[in-house]
Amino acid sequence: MKGYLPIIVKYSPIRKLAIIPFEKSPDTIYRGFELQYIDGEPYGVGYRVLAYRNDNYVDVYDDVALNFNENEKFNVVENGLHKHIQTPINNVQFCKENDNQLISFQFVDIHDRKISVHIEEKSKKKSKGMNLLAPIGIGSKAPEYLPVFFLYDFDFIRKSKSIVACTIDGKEITIDNFPMPMNGQARLYARYSNECELLEFANTSIMELQEIELNNENTYWDGNIEYFFDYKADLEKVRVHLGEDNVHIFFSGGLSLDKPCAGQFTINPREQMGYVQGEYSVQCENNTLIFKMTPIDGWISKPNSFITRLILGKNSVFCAWSKKYSYEAIIDLATRKVEAYWKNGNLK
């Protein structure tokens, strides 16, 4: 049976993430770094550093071990990409040992300056992380998809007895402090997750309606993404295969591009993360389909402590930022051409 692929879901294999901000004492060029550990197609295995610039663009440094894509886009990040280069990222350590986090890396930037970061917790106390939907798309001016970035056991670096050394071109850089204690411990604003899942929901790279051949089980595979259709070729579910812990996306009532329809979509990661929920509709005007989606309910979190109940309320930025994203696709049924885009309502 043939059908149409109404949306494109992509998986980006960022497995670990650490953010080191110094916005209160910025460098002449940068105000923060983001270290990513990547393991999966099409990149291979290696590290990437996003260097956040004071002009709200980003420089991206890929380790030489990664497969380099010079045409890769980063429009989800604020003003977008400034420079993307490949360079050795050395002396990397990114792990937790005896409940203490270790983050370390070095590289040379586009201005031939040596950058070195070393953060090593030394606490004897326990720390309980939180499960978080990262608000990475809140400032994007030209989003190409809804960035759904789940961070498990996300936590902030503890200050007590920790070793913290960050230098740019030999100059000491002061990492920002977190404004309040967590679990009775003072923190830096440097934060991390050793287990991440990043989805590109409804990627707008599709330029024309894609006809697909369904197998005997009415499913269609694209890498590790599996699309499930009913007997009418309406999309019911998408499964992102990640081993034991998969992400499921449900469309109540089925999503069809053959007729008007409406319903609810839900993005379900692991249970402890909560879920993202919204609405969709397809309307027909003359020979044109108008397909709309918005995550109107945002992220429904599952706090696991007193502090996360305060931080992750339904009106918090973490839960509410995605509510202001909206998707629209205009489909010409005669030519099968598709004009799709996301709008970010968080921008003033």
Question: Is 70 exceeded by the pLDDT of residue 196?
Answer: yes
Question: Is 90 exceeded by the pLDDT of residue 340?
Answer: yes
How confident is the prediction for the chain on average, in pLDDT? 94
Question: Is 80 exceeded by the pLDDT of residue 67?
Answer: yes
Quick: pLDDT tens for 103-112: 999 999 999 9
Q: Give the Cα-Cα-Cα angle 167, 82, 9 (nearest 5 degrees).
A: 110
CB 181 within 8 A of CB 188: no
220-232 mean pLDDT: 96
- Residue 335, classified by CB atoms within 10 Å of its CB into exposed (0-12), middle (13-18) or buried (19+), is exposed
- pLDDT tier for residue 310 given thresholds of 50, 70 and 90: confident
Question: Is 70 exceeded by the pLDDT of residue 279?
Answer: yes
CB 9 within 8 A of CB 201: yes
Quick: pLDDT tens for 27-53: 999 999 999 999 999 999 999 999 999
Question: Is 80 exceeded by the pLDDT of residue 140?
Answer: yes
- pLDDT tier for residue 206 given thresholds of 50, 70 and 90: confident
Lowest-confidence segment of 55-69, 74-88, 228-242 by average pLDDT: 74-88
Q: Write down the pLDDT at residue 257.
A: 86
Rounded CA separation 12/187 (Å): 29
Query: Which residues are CB-contacts of 185 (< 8 A; sequence separation ≥ 6)?
Result: 123, 125, 127, 158, 159, 160
- pLDDT tier for residue 76 given thresholds of 50, 70 and 90: low
Question: Is 70 exceeded by the pLDDT of residue 256?
Answer: yes
In this structure, the chain runs to a length of: 348
Question: Is 80 exceeded by the pLDDT of residue 320?
Answer: yes
Strands 235-240 vs 247-255: parallel, antiparallel or unpaired: antiparallel
Q: Write down the pLDDT at residue 244.
A: 86
- pLDDT tier for residue 142 given thresholds of 50, 70 and 90: confident
Strands 58-62 vs 81-86: parallel, antiparallel or unpaired: parallel
